[in-house]
Structure 1
Amino acid sequence: MNRIALIGRLAPIAAAAALAATTLPALASSHREAPFITGAPKVDGTDFYMFRSYETGRSNYVTLIANYQPLQAPYGGPNYFNLDQNALYEIHLDNNGDAKEDLTFQFRFTNTLANGGRGLELPAGKKNVAIPLIQAGPVANVADANLNVAQTYSVIMMKGDRRRGEPWTITNADNGSATFDKPADNIGTKTIPDYPGYAAKHIYNINIPNCSAPGKMFVGQRAEGFAVNLGVVFDLVHAPIEVITDPTKIGLFPNTIADSNVTTLALEIPISCLTQGSEPVIGGWTTASVRQTHNIDATPKSGLNKVDKDAGDWVQVSRLGMPLVNEVVIGLKDKDKFNASQPAGDGQFLTYVSNPTLPKLLEIALPLPNSAPTNYPRSDLTTTFLTGLPGVNQPMNVVASEMLRLNTSIMPVPYAQQNRLGVLGNILAGGTDLAGYPNGRRPKDDVVDISLVAMMGGLCMANGNTNALGLGEKCKPKYVPLGTTSYNLHDAVDQAATPFLSTFPYLNTPTPGAQ
């Protein structure tokens, strides 16, 4: 179906459908969302973006961005934020709707100390002594001589099962190497005067096995792209109701994490190398895993040798598909369990989706007595949240499961024309942007505001008593007593005000530790 025909078919339902897949995750990004992961920030997945590339001339590509290590303070030296060389970072793709990975990109990292493992040294008296910092002067180039520590990485593409499938090596399209350099974090403008230029040298053209065209890859620190007022949100939504229902007051609150950084794993891959047969929809999620056994070495040696002894199978400790799910939907007692789970087993979490508690918490916090929807089980949420939106991003043969889903046949929209409310915002305004959240997720998409509308019954509001959207008789109106202003619910932080790049890797230059 061409795009014009698709838009015509979806116009009556898209305003509500856009809400359905976004309803469950709401209010804050997936940072430190489960008890275990708070003590393991290097393997904490924070955000996952998946969208058809909107850089000029790259519309036949899909961009995948997986962020880890939340809330990095730019001044957090002297060691900064290299990823864990004892961990396995993965981006999984399901291209036939069966809730199992068909392609997995596996990232492994290695730290190397300069000077043959002795580290950079300076003369002190009659001796050469190892320096205490990760740099000995200005840094401008890949594998710069002034870097005391280099972090490199390799990427394996697994076809089929992530552990038992067929491994293929990703290589540098320019020199054939299977080893890539990660740029140092943005220490400050004296150490790295031109960080955008320095980081750009670490964008690689890559060969992807059995793919007719090269892709792109970047791994390194980026500015936090998620906008939210964390303090207000988790203090029982400490904001006046007249503020969060007035669209003129979007941006009234500060983005409290605007100066934070994250570590990004970004891939840009031809669509034809990701899809299977006539199915245009792909589903994606990220994970991080560590070894089952972790024993501290009581007698570590000098250098950057591992100071621990890891062994056993890989154990998954982080999972992220659609944003915010584990943080505000899954019950506290099952958060670690969700992080260890696979989409194919999501039936065990169905009650959290069909009978969510967040609307009741919002009812208490705002306060708005007796305002939470009571149409349990929430068919308005479960229908589209676990399968994708019918006619938008639902695979032809789908197994219900939680993941971010993207219809690769829908054309991208240039950055300047994107609506921060994704599909919902453009349909309500009479537009045609079907390329945003929940059809994948772009950096500019305001997933918090979209979710707030749906959380209190926005989907059923559109469905009404006529079952026009095919959501079933249980989808009866029962809404926040705000009338049509429920479509104006927001967190008073404007996601669209966050600066992004219009080219790969899209997330902006990280905040420097010193100006």
Structure 2
Amino acid sequence: MKLNSIKHIFVGLLLSFVVVSCNNDDDMMMDDDMMVGPDFSGTFAQVDHMGRPGINTVLGADGDAKDAHNISIPANQGAAFQMAYQERLEALHDAYAIALGLTAEDVDYEPNILSGILGFDVTAEILTSVLASDVLEVAPDAQTVYFDGSVPVGFTGRKLQDDVIDISLILLFGGRDGARFNGEGGLPQLVTDGVGLTADNITTTFPYIGSPE
């Protein structure tokens, strides 16, 4: 009798251990005493892209255009959005010209800082052709960098240290030296969002970013 009680207790503890172990596994579950994987059945909808934060926000003409870009697949984005992005980029420069009492030609888009690195003018058409497709390229033999101005490569990924918003603003509005609209000489400040990076808030363990400051 005593032996049977001990056996029942042992079996109960063993089953408890198995159930607890299964509950700690986010990818597996028990179904009729069998281990099964997660259920991916159903209808899923794409709602956003995050390869290049801020680009669609700045260059999307309105809410409908932004939503359309977010739900499209990258393979279709270039043909569908490049021209609209280019028109929007040029229109933003025209708006600043009018606000400053200048002509559009005085404050038109200027080939950006990439031009000197690549050896050819990065026109509004070329830049928006790249930015319209919200993907980050892979360069197995090059460093992972959004863009740091020192090498003729960019958009090969993002590090936590990359200030992607400032980089994007510089490429859009910074002109050849990256400082065209820097808030000086009566021009607006367009090459930074004014939010600095706090390197001391980056950690070496997941999720790699410390608590909000």
Q: Cα gap change, 1:509/1:356 in structure 2, threshold over 3 Å: closer, same or farther?
A: same
Match of 1:329 among 59, 62, 66: 59
Asked if 2 retains the 8 angstrom alpha-carbon contact of 1:343 and 1:403, the reply is yes
Once the two structures are TM-superposed, the CA of residue 314 in structure 1 deviates from its matched residue by 2.5
Q: Which whole-Å CA distance do the structure 1 matches of 2:195 and 2:189 have between them?
A: 16
Where does residue 444 of structure 1 map in the other structure? 161
Q: Which whole-Å CA distance do the structure 1 matches of 2:20 and 2:156 have between them?
A: 41
Q: Which whole-Å CA distance do the structure 2 matches of 1:361 and 1:379 have between them?
A: 19
Quick one: which amino acid aligns to residue 72 of structure 2? S
**Uncovered stretches (5+) of structure 2, i.e. residues with no partner:** 1-18, 29-34, 112-120
Larger radius of gyration: 2
Asked if 2 retains the 8 angstrom alpha-carbon contact of 1:373 and 1:457, the reply is no
Residue deviations 1:30-70, cap 9 Å, x none? Answer: xxxxxxxxxxxxxxxxxxxxxxxxxxxxxxxxxxxxxxxxx
Where does residue 118 of structure 2 map in the other structure? none
Q: Cα gap change, 1:368/1:453 in structure 2, threshold over 3 Å: closer, same or farther?
A: farther
Q: Cα gap change, 1:330/1:412 in structure 2, threshold over 3 Å: closer, same or farther?
A: closer
Where does residue 345 of structure 1 map in the other structure? 76
Asked if 1 retains the 8 angstrom alpha-carbon contact of 2:49 and 2:134, the reply is no
Asked if 1 retains the 8 angstrom alpha-carbon contact of 2:59 and 2:85, the reply is yes
Match of 2:148 among 423, 444, 451: 423
Which structure would you say has the larger RCO, counting Cα contacts within 8 Å and 6 or more residues apart? Answer: 1
Does residue 314 of structure 1 match 2:44? yes
Task: Flag the structure with higher helix content.
Answer: 2
- Describe the SS at the equivalent of 2:157: coil
Residue deviations 1:167-219, cap 9 Å, x none? Answer: xxxxxxxxxx9979xxxxxxxxxxxxxxxxxxxxxxxxxxxxxxxxxxxxxxx
- Describe the SS at the equivalent of 2:53: coil
Quick one: which amino acid aligns to residue 318 of structure 1? D
Q: Which whole-Å CA distance do the structure 1 matches of 2:139 and 2:110 have between them?
A: 29
Asked if 2 retains the 8 angstrom alpha-carbon contact of 1:322 and 1:402, the reply is yes
Q: TM-score, normalised by structure 1?
A: 0.26
Where does residue 103 of structure 1 map in the other structure? none
Q: Which whole-Å CA distance do the structure 2 matches of 1:374 and 1:449 have between them?
A: 17
Does residue 410 of structure 1 match 2:153? no
Asked if 2 retains the 8 angstrom alpha-carbon contact of 1:422 and 1:446, the reply is no
Where does residue 373 of structure 1 map in the other structure? 108
Where does residue 6 of structure 2 map in the other structure? none
Once the two structures are TM-superposed, the CA of residue 494 in structure 1 deviates from its matched residue by 1.0
Match of 2:172 among 455, 476, 484: 455
Quick one: which amino acid aligns to residue 126 of structure 2? T
Where does residue 490 of structure 1 map in the other structure? 192
- Which sits farther off after the overlay, 337-346 or 354-363? 354-363
- Describe the SS at the equivalent of 1:356: helix
Once the two structures are TM-superposed, the CA of residue 345 in structure 1 deviates from its matched residue by 1.1
Q: Which whole-Å CA distance do the structure 1 matches of 2:51 and 2:141 have between them?
A: 20
Once the two structures are TM-superposed, the CA of residue 374 in structure 1 deviates from its matched residue by 4.8
Does residue 359 of structure 1 match 2:92? yes
Report sequence identity in percent.
21
